[in-house]
Amino acid sequence: MCKLLLYSFTIYLHSLAERLESKRNYNYTKYHPMEEIYKWMEDVERGNPELVSSSVYGLTFEERNITLLKLGLENPEGREKKAIWMDCGIHAREWIAPAFCQWFVKEILQSYKTNEKLTEMLQNLDMYVTPVVNVDGYMFTWTNESNRLWRKSRSLPPSDCGCRGVDLNRNFNANWGTVGVSYNCCDNTYCGTSPVSEPEAKAVTDFVGSRLNQILCFLTIHSSGQLILLPYGHPEISAPNYDELVAVGKEAAAEMKKVHGMDYTVGTSPQVLYKNSGSSRDWARLVGIPFSYTFELRDKGEFGHLLPEDQIQPACEEAYAGALSIITFVHDKAFNNVTTVPNAAVTTVTGITTVTGVAITIWSTIMAFSLTTGVLM
């Protein structure tokens, strides 16, 4: 009996050690296949129960879990929390995007305890992070080298056409099927048979759609091109808060440039890239989420989607600075009664250092205004 107990205990310790090892040793500067990402999510949740919980909010076409991590702390006054949304890997070949979602989670985990601003934000808002939306497509890009540049989902074609996959970022219900799409199922911008015909797009739509009053901003991460895109993809439609979207976007780009000197261009898709419709970013804005951006990460064409692993860290560091800039803005706008758009002459009130040692200016000129003691929004 004692031997059995001892044996079981040893097994337990060993598996505990393995789990701690795998979390501690997870290499955020390498690309990981989906099995490793699933395991990493489990480890992160198990290792940080006070901050992290996971949720499977849909199934892909091939019936795999679409999983998000929810990062958040209890609100000390029991107030209702808001949220921000971040998704990565809508397009299978854009490997730097899932790498960034993992990096983002890691940064939050490793710095929130010693970062008052981050703690405050996590008490006021939850961060929903989906490391890989298009799991089927992402896994397909890992099957062999000739599939590395697959972009779409892996759904079976409609009866009158012969190729698999839908461009998930043309499938959302936002001016669906109008511009910047193909109706040919063999093409890489094929928008699907109808709006939200794809389970992956439906999963995001349902989850976010049921939390519209909560969600302050929607960030969707892609590569490449070094762009921060605001809604809308249609050249003749403008978001009502266009000016504010531009200002907040430019502030994010400025923060990104401070990290490693890289330029990120801010604008609508029809301005700086191409017309498109049915994107997740457009849908989010259309249903009322005030701040919605597509991040197109490195690079500008030299490696394109095949970004070398030695660029994962710098690409993620700058993307983190940009994302945090936007998240901080929407947080402060919602929770500190401040509504002024940041402008070029930013006054630093507090600097906050992350674990990577890069000082990120989070507070901006808006904090120079006296805070009212009125009711929080």
Q: What are the residue numbers of the active site?
A: 296
The nearer residue to another protein, 26 or 142, going by C-beta atoms, is 142
58-66, 125-133, 139-147, 201-209 -> range binding another protein (CB under 8 A)? 139-147
314 near another protein, judged by CB under 8 A: no
Per-residue x/- mask for another protein, residues 17 to 56, rule CB under 8 A?
-------------xx-------------------------
- Among 29, 110, 210, 271, interactor with another protein by CB under 8 A: 271
Q: Considering the rule CB under 8 A, would residue 246 count as an interface residue with another protein? A: no
β-strand partners of 360 = 352
Per-residue tokens: 268 = 């609508």
Distance CA 243, CA 220 (A): 20
Give the count of beta carbons closer than 10 Å to the beta carbon of residue 45.
Answer: 17
Given candidates 21, 206, 243, 302, which one binds another protein under the rule CB under 8 A? 302
Residues with Cβ within 8 Å of residue 122, at least 6 apart in sequence: 51, 71, 72, 73, 108, 112
Cβ-contact 338, 366 below 8 angstroms: yes
Helix (H/G/I), strand (E/B), else coil: 190: strand
Cα–Cα distances in angstroms (integers) from residue 253 to residues 227, 306, 321, 350, in the given order: 9, 23, 9, 19
Q: What b-and-e string marks burial along 244-271, b requiring 16 or more CB atoms within 10 Å of the CB?
A: bbbbbbbbbbbbbeebeebebbbbbbbe
183 binds another protein (CB under 8 A): no
> How many chain residues interact with another protein (CB under 8 A)?
35
Among 225, 233, 249, 278, binds another protein (CB under 8 A): 225
Q: What are phi and psi of 275, to 5 degrees?
A: -70, 145
Min CB(188)–another protein separation in Å: 4
**Binds another protein by CB under 8 A, chosen from 23, 234, 281, 305:** 305
* Site membership for another protein, residue 273 (CB under 8 A): yes
Select the span of 50-58, 127-135, 146-154, 332-340 touching another protein (CB under 8 A). Answer: 146-154
Nearest Cα neighbor of 270 from 300, 297, 232 is 232
Residue 44 or 229 with smaller CB distance to another protein: 229
Inter-residue contact 305 to 224 (CB < 8 Å): yes
Shortest spacing between CB 163 and another protein, in angstroms: 8
**Residue 277: partners with Cβ closer than 8 Å, 6 or more residues away:** 170, 174, 175, 176, 177, 178, 179, 180, 181, 191, 233, 234
In the complex, minimum distance from the CB of residue 39 to another protein, in angstroms, rounded to a whole number: 20
Scanning 46-54, 117-125, 182-190, 331-339 for contacts with another protein by CB under 8 A, the matching segment is 182-190
Residues engaged in binding another protein (CB under 8 A): 30-31, 141-142, 145, 148-149, 151, 163, 167, 182, 186-189, 225, 263, 265, 267, 270-274, 300-309, 311
